Structure 1
Amino acid sequence: MAVPILWQDPFSSDRRPLFISKYFSSLGEDEKFILKEYLEKHGINEEFSNTLFDYARFLKVLDIPHLEYKVRKWITFKLIESKLFDDNHIINLLFKLFIESGATLHKLVLGQPLELKPEIFYTLEENKQFFSRIQHLSLDILYGNDFESATLLRVLAEITTKINTIELCYFDYKPHLFHALIYIIKSQEQLRLFSLVGDYPKEFYGVISALESQKNSLQEVILDSCDFNAEFEVLNKCKNFKTLRIRYCAKKFSKLLDFKVSTLEVVESEIDTQSMALIFEKSGKLLQRLKLELNDEYRDESIQGIEFSTQFVELIRNLQKLQFLTLWCEEVDDIPEEVLKIRIIQFSEILPLTLKYLDLGDSWLEPYTDILINHCNVPLKKMLIDRLENERISKALVEFCKRNKTLNYVGVGRYYALDDYINISGNLC
């Protein structure tokens, strides 16, 4: 029962590469003979012993960059002395074996340009079950004239329509890859998650616009290191959109925030108060998870002090179903300390009663943590703070536990000499 599970994703694990040899036992006699001659020619003597299982047919996750890495490690381990060795022959042999073994992939990860032999594509046409159940497609760094990867994507688009997750990393692709991506996006029936990690690309060549074909199914979008582009406005047409995660995006996404979501994450990205108010207004009755990690580099004058401005406090008050809140912001210099304390009290008192998780892991907030905790009456289950190194905070936590009787986890970002400052053993329970 365990073997099929252990061999679903062997190339992504940290296990030693010696398991590569076990696959060779499933090769045909002619292929074994050719491979044995090839290895001996390069100084590798390998015996293909029989195995209890046909391990190749258990494969569910094919991460090609990891496959290439494991093959190179296996070759390095087997070589008696350092020699030039073309690992592409073994990679193609294993790829063909996986296809013909009867395996059905659930996840495919493409990386650097492939050097696939023409027979691989013929074998795929003859064994369509290999790609027929793929649900997760990930494209890592692709560069150069990677026609093999583009061809592989087109074959994939013709075989399966069940992909629900597409992840693109580093968007410096060639035109033929963009065309293949558009083709595969439009060919899917229920794409739910689309993720793009770019290097601040200026153009998206219709790939984002192609998401309009998924307007009835798309639920989550992750944008990392991207500039705003008019193509993103197509997301406003998505009827079941629930989660938006914007990370390290330089230009404002004001026009993008014109829809309702239940999860919003903004990390180190430029966004103004007006945009924040707009999405809070539209999502107030739906928003359950909110994560804001902002610093001065990504804030213009209109967002200074948003974390405890009067407007922000009112916006939080209207989030009637909020369950998870993460708030990390840079120190506010233009608000007097007494005013800031009042705002923190107001913020603490208006937190929705639905809130279960509160992450305030900011170093600048540490002097006011006890004030916030002392005025909080929300039945929190988990709380994350930056530091726990003075008696005021420890006492506030103990009193909060006694008062609310729900807190069962406190995470501390930096604890320093915790035992020297605090003695709350047995009290915080």
Structure 2
Amino acid sequence: MTCSKIFSGDLPAELTYEVIKYFQNDDYSTLHSCLLVNRLWCRLAIPLLWENPFSINTGNYNFIEIYLHNLNDDDFNTKLNEHNIVNNSLPSNLLFNYPKFLKYLNIRKFILSVNKWLESAIITSNPKNRSNFKVLIDICATIFKIFIENKVNLHVLEIENLSDYYHKCFVNILKLILKNTEFIHNIRNINLFNVSNTLDYYYISQIINLQQNLKKISISDNLFLYHSLLLSKKSDCSNTLTIIIFYKVNFNFKFLWANKIFERLNHLNVLESIHILYCSFNNNFNQQIINLTKPFKLKSLLIDEKSQIGFESSKLLLQKSGDYLENFGLCPSYFSSMIESNELIKLITKYCKNINFFYFTMHEIQFTYQIFNLIENIKQNLNYLSIDVWPDFIGLKSIESTPSSMILQNLGQILPSKLEYLHLRLYFIKASDFEVFLKNSQDTFIKKLSINTGLGQDILPLIKNYIMKKKRVKYLAINDSSKELISLKEVNEFKLYNIEVQRHSDLMIDLYDYIKEIN
């Protein structure tokens, strides 16, 4: 009865919209199919499909031409003919004002999408010649002006640096934004990645200083842009900013203002979460954290061999912010101290009870039983678990004696009853060990299960018996050194049990990408 109401349109439009919106995150093909159900579904699905079209990886870039149809017919045909662009004869009477729906814009993906479309549309033997680069600049500018003329209400702006080849086009777009500030007047999220050009700093700092409603900012690599946000008198986000993400930021600067970076957090009145991913700190970091008068709401911490965050700093962070920490990743180098890594895991176990996403990657020689204690300690809140263990042949008597066996024999019984995501990357999987894991975890439903192995025995019969027939997963990816499950004829068999087999690369969740989506 409920399904018939949904498809007939009897359900209120607001509820139908929530049903359709569910497909936006995971299943664009299904979202696209919603256009064909009825007029209401089409009207509700179209804005969702066009909110962020440059990030949908379909390989089809003809939607660029739909944007150009917002030019009048004469200007449209003139623009195509001027650059020898093939007209795909799209209807001129478009049913929707597609530019108006744009909410998310990654400048890098925008430029590359236009370039991909040009490569297939321009009649030329050399799509990389100088004249085509001028075409790219012209078409990008034209589409951007269409966005501005249609008064796009942009919510998310991602500024990501490109190679030198595209840099002029990149800077041209930044200039257009600054000349038309209404385009960014309602920005809620700004993500900055790999910005390294001094001229780029100048333009981006101006964009940051214009923000009055900014709720989230992600800063990669460069500390100077953080200076623009928190230390500039022109920027006022103290009553709006709720999320800050630092990614691979080096805080080891000797500028006077760099010693006040974290103390400035005291001036942010509504800050809800801080995320520190692969960052490096100076000796002043501990004192800054101690001097904070407000809670240091650290929600994510990723540590690798380049992080240069000392044990004492880690201990201080966890003591002060352990109750807030929800996402933790540990990636020690091969030469990291095993004692220090074990002590860090003990600290996480002691201070952090609310971890939702736990990710670790390490060499087999570094693996410790402390990991199992940690997982069992956090399983009440654990939803995402990624275990990535690299082979280490030194000192191993047999390939079958690797810690992969220890993991498979001890992991299943400590998993929670439900997981959103489980990723196992083990170099060698012994069938008998894998069966132990499946038996011990038979009461756990895993929405997304990804298994990656370099060598090992055939585990497909076990997958069918313990997972497929019992419908214990919704999405499944299995990859070994020679083949993926999705390439085998058994895929259709899994469909009979409503299990969708996917490519390993499509199903795998990167912790950094997961954190970027936090709102």
TM-score over 0.5 (shorter chain): yes
The Cα offsets for residues 114-141 of structure 1, whole Å up to 9 and x where unpaired, read as: xxxxxxxxxxxxxxx33xx221112222
Q: Aligned partners of 1:349, 1:330: CA distance in 2, in Å?
A: 21
My pick for the range that moved more, 66-75 or 234-243, is 66-75
One of 234, 242, 262 as aligned partner of 1:233? 262
- Code of the residue aligned with 2:194 in structure 1: it is Y
Determine if contact 2:192/2:219 at 8 Å carries over to the other structure. yes
Partner of 2:361: 328
Normalised TM-score (structure 1): 0.69
Query: Is the alpha carbon distance of 1:98 and 1:320 closer, same or farther for their aligned partners in structure 2, counting shifts above 3 Å?
Result: closer
Partner of 1:50: 92
Determine if contact 1:294/1:328 at 8 Å carries over to the other structure. yes
Normalised TM-score (structure 2): 0.59
Within-5 A mapping of 1:83-162: 84=131, 86-87=134-135, 88-100=137-149, 102=150, 129-130=151-152, 133-141=153-161, 148-155=172-179, 157=181, 160-162=184-186
Matched, 1:262 2:299: yes
Partner of 2:275: 244
Q: Aligned partners of 1:34, 1:197: CA distance in 2, in Å?
A: 41
- Code of the residue aligned with 1:369 in structure 2: it is I
Shift of 1:244: 0.7
Shift of 1:277: 1.6
My pick for the range that moved more, 277-286 or 143-152, is 143-152
Determine if contact 2:431/2:458 at 8 Å carries over to the other structure. no
Matched, 1:28 2:52: no
Q: Aligned partners of 1:252, 1:148: CA distance in 2, in Å?
A: 36
Q: Which structure shows the higher helix fraction?
A: 2
Partner of 1:118: none
| 3-state SS of paired residue (1:426) | helix
- Code of the residue aligned with 2:387 in structure 1: it is L
Q: Aligned partners of 2:171, 2:459: CA distance in 1, in Å?
A: 62
Partner of 1:400: 440
Shift of 1:316: 0.8
Q: Which has the larger radius of gyration?
A: 1
Query: Is the alpha carbon distance of 1:64 and 1:53 closer, same or farther for their aligned partners in structure 2, counting shifts above 3 Å?
Result: farther
Shift of 1:321: 2.5
Unaligned runs of 5+ in 1: 103-128
Q: Aligned partners of 1:33, 1:375: CA distance in 2, in Å?
A: 66
Matched, 1:426 2:465: yes
The Cα offsets for residues 310-369 of structure 1, whole Å up to 9 and x where unpaired, read as: x63254133233333223234557xxx9xx55x566556645544344333223642431
Determine if contact 1:326/1:359 at 8 Å carries over to the other structure. yes
Equivalenced residues, count: 381
Determine if contact 2:192/2:220 at 8 Å carries over to the other structure. yes
Determine if contact 2:215/2:242 at 8 Å carries over to the other structure. yes
Determine if contact 1:17/1:70 at 8 Å carries over to the other structure. yes
- Code of the residue aligned with 2:176 in structure 1: it is L
Unaligned runs of 5+ in 2: 1-41, 290-295, 392-402, 471-519
Query: Is the alpha carbon distance of 1:308 and 1:372 closer, same or farther for their aligned partners in structure 2, counting shifts above 3 Å?
Result: farther
Query: Is the alpha carbon distance of 1:219 and 1:371 closer, same or farther for their aligned partners in structure 2, counting shifts above 3 Å?
Result: farther
- Code of the residue aligned with 2:92 in structure 1: it is N
Partner of 2:227: 206
Within-5 A mapping of 1:270-419: 270-296=308-334, 299=336, 304-309=338-343, 312-331=345-364, 343=370, 346-347=373-374, 350-351=377-378, 353-363=380-390, 365-370=403-408, 372-373=410-411, 376=414, 379=417, 381=419, 383-387=422-426, 389-391=429-431, 393-401=433-441, 405-408=443-446, 410-414=449-453, 416-419=455-458
Query: Is the alpha carbon distance of 1:99 and 1:372 closer, same or farther for their aligned partners in structure 2, counting shifts above 3 Å?
Result: same
Shift of 1:393: 3.0
Give % identity. Answer: 18
Determine if contact 1:344/1:371 at 8 Å carries over to the other structure. no
Determine if contact 1:253/1:270 at 8 Å carries over to the other structure. no
Q: Aligned partners of 2:361, 2:95: CA distance in 1, in Å?
A: 51
Query: Is the alpha carbon distance of 1:265 and 1:34 closer, same or farther for their aligned partners in structure 2, counting shifts above 3 Å?
Result: same
- Code of the residue aligned with 1:360 in structure 2: it is I
Q: Aligned partners of 1:6, 1:33: CA distance in 2, in Å?
A: 26
Determine if contact 1:165/1:191 at 8 Å carries over to the other structure. yes
The Cα offsets for residues 234-274 of structure 1, whole Å up to 9 and x where unpaired, read as: 56434524141413x45568817932323333345222222
The Cα offsets for residues 368-398 of structure 1, whole Å up to 9 and x where unpaired, read as: 3146437737556354333372255335424
- Code of the residue aligned with 1:136 in structure 2: it is V
